[in-house]
A = this chain, B = another copy of it.
């Protein structure tokens, strides 16, 4: 979901970007006018996320799934070992992919409880090249309230479904990556934030396009970047800034999530899926415990314009994805529908 204000600007500028006579969708990535958009997008991301100087920002393609390979190919190169916290199906995919490239292990897993919680206080190998986490688990509705302590071992985080939803202390991470399609921009853009010392450690056998150094050296312009998604990302960042930045986004997101969790916590019909202390403010998962009733809930919601509430097949039940662009009114409407549904079906 994208903010309506952003879509309006994109529509207005589609045929002629600020008098350039060109659409951003057709600009050369080497043109002055496009490079200004690109530079502004990076500057805004650095400002909004308060990214320290010793981190590089990359605008890439291929999604988080490509990062599942790039991370180990570039970072599991010192001791050939990496530890993964397996907290959902994407975290598990990242872990499985890493086993292709070295000694990757699941240092912790909540799979035996269907990923309903975030493991805490688990040991990591002292010679692991990094610890990988998925900071928000979209399908299961869990989120790290606190980061694992890793000492000198770089922490790598997949933030695809929580980036820009709250302030992030980037200095606690070695590498952050995110597919842009949840909170940043249309699909097709992947953002990587990497600490400088982690760049340049990949062997020559790594494909040029999968080597972070290629993109750092070329300022993300080794080949044509996903120009239009980067432009939309810039518009989204301007929108976030105008709303008061990430501290304000967090307040709004917590308020939105609290409306739904409050209904769940006072319900005799709905069962929340995620452990209370690990609840996501982006994805709220719940069920009635009766598949037919769940289906009735989803159908009734759709009839009221509340769409995409069916839970992922791995969890069943319902999932409300309430990313940045979801207005407060959308959550109010859903909370009201939930209460009405319980009233009518208890």
Give the interface of A toward B (CB within 8 A): 1-2, 4, 7-8, 10-12, 14-15, 21, 23, 25-26, 28-29, 31, 61-66, 68-69, 73, 97, 100, 179, 181, 186-189, 204-205, 207-210, 222-229, 232, 305, 308, 325
Question: How many copies of the shown chain assemble into the complex?
Answer: 2
Asked if A187 contacts B225 (CB within 8 A), the reply is yes
Give the shortest distance, in Å, between A31 (CB) and chain B (any CB).
8
Asked if B2 contacts A26 (CB within 8 A), the reply is yes
Asked if A224 contacts B69 (CB within 8 A), the reply is no
B contact residues around A223 at 8 Å (CB): 63-65, 179
Asked if B100 contacts A179 (CB within 8 A), the reply is no
Asked if B8 contacts A11 (CB within 8 A), the reply is no
Report how far A232 CA is from B181 CA in the complex, Å: 17
Contacts A100-B205, A187-B224, A227-B188 given; indicate if A7 touches B23 (C-beta within 8 A): yes
Report how far A209 CA is from B179 CA in the complex, Å: 14
Asked if B25 contacts A227 (CB within 8 A), the reply is no
Report how far A79 CA is from B237 CA in the complex, Å: 50
Asked if A187 contacts B228 (CB within 8 A), the reply is yes
Given contacts A11-B14, A187-B226, 13 further A-B contacts (CB under 8 A): A11-B11, A11-B15, A31-B308, A65-B222, A66-B207, A181-B227, A186-B227, A186-B228, A187-B225, A187-B227, A187-B228, A188-B228, A210-B210
Report how far A100 CA is from B222 CA in the complex, Å: 18
Q: Which of A14, A21, A210 has the most CB of B within 10 A?
A: A14
Asked if A63 contacts B61 (CB within 8 A), the reply is yes
Name the one of B31, B226, B325 contacting A226, with C-beta atoms under 8 angstroms: B226
Q: Which of A210, A224, A325 has the most CB of B within 10 A?
A: A224
Report how far A10 CA is from B23 CA in the complex, Å: 11
